[in-house]
Structure 1
Amino acid sequence: MAEVRNCSSCGEFFNYTGMRDICYKCAQNEEELYQIVYRFLRKRENRAATMERIVEATGVSEELLHKWVRKNRLQPAMFPNLGYPCDNCGHITNSGKLCAKCQNEIKSDLRTFEAAKEFRDNIAKSERGAYLSDRNK
């Protein structure tokens, strides 16, 4: 069953069905803007356009471009200078929620944590063994 929500774009009430967080009018407007951007990018000379150039030429907001790239409506494989901000640091990335640098930092932190945990476990085992051997004397 649909629920009534406020459109995140214009603030009007609409029946939310789980598909999008904007009302029908805003969705139509967004689709028209998408078509403008897509027509702009389909021209050979514009395929390598930067975000700033696309915003300047089409008038579409950078946030909307990020949304379309994140949802794979505009694919970085076809348009190499497109991306969206990393959820952690804000650096532009083309896939996932985190950029490569943040992914590597998290992997490194996890390796360090795992090594420290293994070290603590080894110490606990050796201490347990020492206590057990003292009891047997």
Structure 2
Amino acid sequence: MSQLDNCPNCGQVYIKNAFRDVCMDCYKQEEEDYQNVYKFIRQRQNRTATMEHVVNGTGVSEALIIKFIRKGRIQLAQFPHLGYPCDRCGTLIREEKLCVSCKKDIQTQLTQVDREEERQLEMKNLGKTYHAVNKNKR
């Protein structure tokens, strides 16, 4: 579904849709920037370039290059020194949204929360134990 929005780059009003998240003018500029980045990294001597080298060599912002990577327009398998920051700590990663360390830390925290909830439930239920006494012994 299309809706009116302001372009996050220039502020111009545009029709936002599933294909573009910027106005037509900014979209055209992004496409030019993508072509510049792609031509740069496809050159044999630049295939092992770091993000800083690509930014300096093309004049395209790091944020825009990361946008191209996250949208799948630049495949990292062919470019070993490129990546994007982990959403939690900023460490350079090449897949998913979190680095291995952050995933492990979050999993540890979730496990601790689960254990604490189980312990609290056990403590709550401990006082509700009922014993039946059979007075009619034969």
Assess same fold via TM > 0.5. Answer: yes
TM-fit CA distance, 1:51: 0.5
Residue equivalent to 1:7: 7
Give the superposed CA RMSD: 1.7
Relative to structure 2, which stretch is displaced further, 61-70 or 92-101? 92-101
Residue equivalent to 1:64: 64
Asked if 1:116 corresponds to 2:116, the answer is: yes
Unaligned runs of 5+ in 2: 134-138
Distance 1:96 1:25 in 2: 30
Q: TM-score, normalised by structure 2?
A: 0.86
1:27-72 CA distance string (max 9 Å, x none): 1111111111111111222111000000110100000011111111
Structure 1 runs (4+) greater than 6 angstroms displaced:
none
Unaligned runs of 5+ in 1: none
TM-fit CA distance, 1:116: 1.9
Distance 1:75 1:18 in 2: 21
TM-fit CA distance, 1:122: 2.8
State percent identity of aligned pairs. Answer: 41
Distance 1:117 1:14 in 2: 49
Whose helix fraction is larger, Structure 1's or Structure 2's?
Answer: 1
TM-fit CA distance, 1:6: 1.3
Query: When the two structures are aligned, how many residues end up with a matched partner?
Result: 133
